[in-house]
Each structure stands twice: as structure tokens, then as C-alpha cells.
Amino acid sequence: MKNPFTLGFGKKPHTFISRATDIQQIIEDFDSESPATQSYLITGVRGAGKTVTMTAVASTLEEDKWIVINLNPNRPLLESLVAKLYDIPELNSLFIKAKFNLSLFGIGGSFENVPPVNDIEVALEKMLAQVHAIGKKVLVTIDEVTKNDTIRTFTSSFQLLIRQEYPIFLLMTGLYENIYELQNDDTLTFLYRSPRIDLAPLNKVSIKQRYQEIFQISSDKANELAEMTSGYSFAFQVLGYLCWKQPNYLTNQEQLLIAYDEYLQSYVYQKIWSELSEKDKIVMLAISRKRKIKNKDLREELGFSSSLMSIYRDRLKRKGLIDTSEYGVLSIILPRLDHYILEYENFIN
């Protein structure tokens, strides 16, 4: 039997824990007769399951006869959207019948005595009017967005489209800090008002049940494995992948931890660490040494003012790296990230 777990990012694993509440919330909001919002943002740390959650929403709506368009954030988004809409057979015949001349954009052919549309926004408006006429809705998904001119241009145009009540909806995913930057861009006010789902850790009871079901192990052993993941979606996959590949790991925790650390570090933690500022690293290192530390004690240890401590605490929380749910206390949220940080410190020193 094929390994039911996967280490690949960006695709739906064979075995995963569904975020049913988050998925249903988006679907119900988008599918209501008078939607309160036509855009949603999904954020989370690397490996939190953003793409899987977005894909689940898109698949459900597609089954409900929605038109789903997946866009690459690194390409011209408006042009890509127009081209992909034109390529859908059901819509293509409508556009040809309406004699849409999109030849200036390299799309379709020209029509005699029909001047070409020379503005991409106008082209999109014409197409969406046809979509609306046949009672369809369009969901646009964009994975792992960052704040750049391409996204700014697209979201500004999207804002105009929803103001004109076209049946178009937007679902974007991104790292905490990237979504935060987008929502706080003064030129993208509608994104500031867009609902945001911050992916929380997975339910460890669900993880335990899934491990117990797949590996046919005791409740205590399954619970031990679930605790090792800290609810981190990618850790759930890594741990399952390793135990499936090497069943002896289920009885040899020492060897399992060695492999587990290696995979988490090479796939995720090295990248996360490299993207932190030097001050971020100092704060993370101090927390890692104590595993759990009072905010006041950390501030005094680092010699930070209250305002400076607040900046770094909030920033690391937005990145999904620290847990602040316990009042006045900070701790590392990702499994064995503190172990990696301490090992890294020993290595460079």
C-alpha cells in the first residue's frame, strides 16, 4: 500500500485532518444569496495547511457548478484571468457569440467590423457580465501572495468589480507577515476589511485518532505521537510519513526523533530561521532556552523597553512562531523548533 502521508507542499495529501469549520465558514459566506464578503484571506506559517484548505473550498464550490480559476501570483493576474475564462468551453461559446474581440491580448480571433477591446479591465467586465447572465459565479484562488505591484493592480481592479456587483469572489493564501502587509496597504482598503482566517493548530484528538486508525497502535502511543506534532499540520504528515516508511520508529523514539528533526529542519525550519531578523532571532533564542517564559522576564533579560518588546512579540506572533494564548507568557508554538534553535546556536558558537 502506498504511503498515505506526503511531504509535498501545495497539494492535498492522501491523509489529512480537515479544517471543516474554516472551510464551511468560507463556503457559506460566498454561497449566500447576499454575501457579506466576496473575498477571504487564509494565513498561517509554512506547512500549516493553507493550500489544502483553499483547495478544499475550491473543490466544494466547483462541485456546486462554480467556475474556479487558479492564478499564479508571479504572472500578470488580470491577463491570466481573462485568458483562463476564455478557455473554458462553456464560456468560450458565449464570448464568441457576443463577438468579444480580445485579439489585442492575444486571445481568440478578431471579428469583422468589431473593434478590439483595448483595456483588460473592460474585457473582464464584459466577460463577467456574460457569466452573470447565465447565473454562474467565479472563484479566483491565488496561493502564497506577497505584497507587490501585480497583486496591488489585481486587487484594485477586483475592488471595482465587486462594487459593480459582478459575480466574482477571491480567496488568497499567504504567510502571516505577507497578508498583514497587504491588509495594511493604504491603497487596498477593501483587503483590510476582508475576513481573515488564521489557521490554528490542528485538533490533537483528531490527529491521535488518525494515527491510531492507520498504524493500529494503542491509544497511549497514538496520543504520544499526536503530542509530538503540537498540532502542526506538516509535522502530522512528517511523523506519519516516517512511521509508515520505517515501522520500527513506532517502538524506537530516539531514532524517530533524529529523523523527525532532520525533516522538519530541512523542509521548514531552516527557511523560517533564515527569514528572521537578527533581533527576531535573539528573542526566539531567549524563549527557546526557557521553553516558556513570562513576557516581563524576557523583556528584562533582553534589556528591551515595553514598547520594543511589544513590537517583537506581536511580529513573532503574526509569523505564527510563538504562542501568546497564556496571559503574559510566551512559548514556541512549532514542534521542536526550540530544539533546532538551540542546536543552531551551539553549532555557530
Instruction: Summarize pLDDT for 262-299 with one digit per residue, the tens.
Output: 999 999 999 999 999 999 999 999 999 998 999 999 99
Same domain, 40 and 151: yes
Same domain, 56 and 191: yes
User: Is 7 a domain residue?
Assistant: no
Same domain, 44 and 192: yes
Q: What is the CATH number for 293?
A: 1.10.10.10
- CB atoms closer than 10 angstroms to residue 62: 12
pLDDT tens per residue across span 195-249: 999 999 999 999 999 999 999 999 999 999 999 999 999 999 999 999 999 999 9
Same domain, 84 and 217: no
Same domain, 31 and 96: yes
User: Is 4 a domain residue?
Assistant: no
Is the predicted pLDDT of residue 101 greater than 90, yes or no?
no
User: Is 28 a domain residue?
Assistant: yes
User: Is 341 a domain residue?
Assistant: yes
Among the candidates 232, 256, 272, a domain finishes at 272
Same domain, 75 and 143: yes
Parent domain of 72: 20-198
pLDDT band at 302 (very low <50, low <70, confident <90, very high): very high
Per-residue pLDDT averaged across 131-137, rounded?
Answer: 96
Per-residue pLDDT averaged across 105-117, rounded?
Answer: 77
User: Is 26 a domain residue?
Assistant: yes
Quick one: CA torsion of 111, 114, 118, 124, rounded to 10 degrees? -80
Same domain, 284 and 246: no
Q: What is the pLDDT of residue 65?
A: 94
Among the candidates 198, 221, 243, a domain finishes at 198
The CA–CA distances, whole Å, from 338 to 5, 280, 304, 315, 332 equal 25, 14, 21, 18, 7
pLDDT tens per residue across span 140-173: 999 999 999 999 999 999 999 999 999 999 999 9
Same domain, 188 and 209: no
Same domain, 117 and 193: yes
Same domain, 212 and 233: yes
Among the candidates 239, 257, 272, a domain finishes at 272
Residues in Cβ contact with 7 at an 8 Å cutoff, skipping those fewer than 6 apart: 237, 238, 241, 263, 267
Same domain, 170 and 212: no
pLDDT band at 4 (very low <50, low <70, confident <90, very high): very high
What gap in Å lies between CA 292 and CA 194, rounded to an integer? Answer: 34
